[in-house]
Amino acid sequence: MASRKDVAKLAGVSPASVSYYVNKNGYVSKKTGDKIQKAIDELQYVPNQIARSLKIKNTKQLLFLCNDIRNPFYSQLVYRATKSAANLGYTILFSSVVDNEDYINKILSYQVSGVFASNNKMDVKQINKIAKAQVPVVLLRDLDWDDLDSSVSLIKVDFSSIMKEIVTHLTENGCDSIHYISSSSINNLDAKAISFINAMKGKSFSIIEKVSATKEAHDTIYNTYKEKEDFPSSFVCTNDAVALGCIRAVIDRGLRVPEDVKVVGFDNTNISQYSNPEISTVDIDSEAIGDFAVNILLDKINGKKRDHKKIIPRLIVRKSSMK
């Protein structure tokens, strides 16, 4: 692999001139610049961005940490965020969360320029540790933390009214019992589950905990509801991947969706539109969240103060929950 010195030698200029030309941080005449570019092309020279980024203390890499990389919501979010970041000269690293101290230490050792955490698996101490290392942090969070570091910016989804809208929709379509499939645990409910419970006051309901992916949703529903009489009239699912597994389990038990059991998902991912039947879902605009996350992080990297961002979900009604 060619080095900066190789380019300088072939072009007949100093290594400093090559550095000025490549980094655009010093004067290089057009004649000298043309000679350097010709040498770069001939040698297929690629600048060492890692070394440069460490020198200026900006790796131009953003780390996105997500609950479950299998959830299509996150792939859509990161797809959009990656395009936004690339247009601004940044790249994105994408990972599911590993909830331990060593993992956080490794994150800090990579010297990423900023962190976007879209998860409920990291506790406040871990988020604060990243922030206190002076790494800009943006957090997609549905519950408040009183002791969250003040430098952390929030993108918060407001679930206060959407569950009431879902319950009203299902009730109007003949559902007298609604069960919620939650990715959180009963002892540590997320905002979606809490909003569901509040919306179901006075109505028959149940919560299935710790289900976040398609296969585990299918297996849990199939093994929990063994007789047709066991099934509720509807399920509300924590995400579309869970809704897809739920629908398949209902069908595998000999029932029909939506005739016998109605299903509503969350996130309005692509699978909700192309499932059979199409899945009613809640749109929280994953693409916009990806853009917001990148733009807020870059502002924070550049020393600008950013306010928190609130997302208002909307219900999209499709065949899976209609009469």
Distance (Å, whole) CA 178 – CA 24: 61
Of 241, 244, 243, 184, nearest in space to 210 by CA: 184
pLDDT over threshold 90, residue 119: no
* Host H or E run for residue 302: none
Give me the pLDDT at residue 58, please.
Answer: 57
Place of tokens 């209902």: 250
Q: Quick: pLDDT tens for 279-312.
A: 999 999 888 899 999 999 999 999 898 888 999 9
Q: Which of 96-110, 120-134, 173-187, 191-205 has the lowest mean pLDDT?
A: 96-110
Q: What is the pLDDT of residue 120?
A: 65
Report the distance separating Cα 129 and Cα 118, nearest Å: 16
For residue 135, pLDDT beyond 60: yes
Task: Determine the pLDDT at residue 23.
Answer: 76
Looking only at the bridges linking them, the beta strands covering 234-237 and 262-264 are parallel
Q: pTM of the entire structure? A: 0.78
Same fold, 56-158+286-312 and 162-284+316-321: yes
Q: What percent of the chain has pLDDT over 70?
A: 93
Alpha-carbon Rg of the chain, whole angstroms? 25
State the architecture of 56-158+286-312 in CATH terms. Answer: 3-Layer(aba) Sandwich (3.40)
- 58-77, pLDDT tens digit by residue? 578 899 888 777 788 888 88
d(CA 253, CA 224): 11
Asked whether residue 93 carries a pLDDT value surpassing 80, the answer given is yes
Summarize pLDDT for 30-65 with one digit per residue, the tens.
Answer: 999 999 999 988 888 876 554 554 454 557 889 988
Q: Which of 5-19, 25-39, 259-273 has the highest mean pLDDT?
A: 259-273
**In this predicted model, what pLDDT tens digit does every residue of 206-262 receive, in sequence order?**
999 999 999 999 999 999 999 999 999 999 999 999 999 999 999 999 999 999 999
In this predicted structure, what is the pLDDT of residue 287?
A: 85
Per-residue model confidence (pLDDT) at position 56: 44
Do residues 25 and 18 lie in contact, with contact meaning Cβ atoms separated by under 8 Å?
A: no
Domain 4-47 fold is 434 Repressor (Amino-terminal Domain) (1.10.260)
To 5 degrees, how large is the angle CA 290–CA 76–CA 149?
Answer: 35
Structure tokens at 200: 């179901």
Contact 59, 111 (CB under 8 A): yes
The CATH code for residues 162-284+316-321 is: 3.40.50.2300
Take residue 302 and report the two structure tokens written for it: 């550049």
Q: Is the pLDDT of residue 200 over 90?
A: yes
- Residue 301's SS3 state is helix
Spans of all domains in the chain: 4-47, 56-158+286-312, 162-284+316-321
Integer Cα distance of 262 and 241 in angstroms:
16
Residues in the chain: 323
Cα(22)–Cα(36) distance, rounded to whole angstroms? Answer: 9
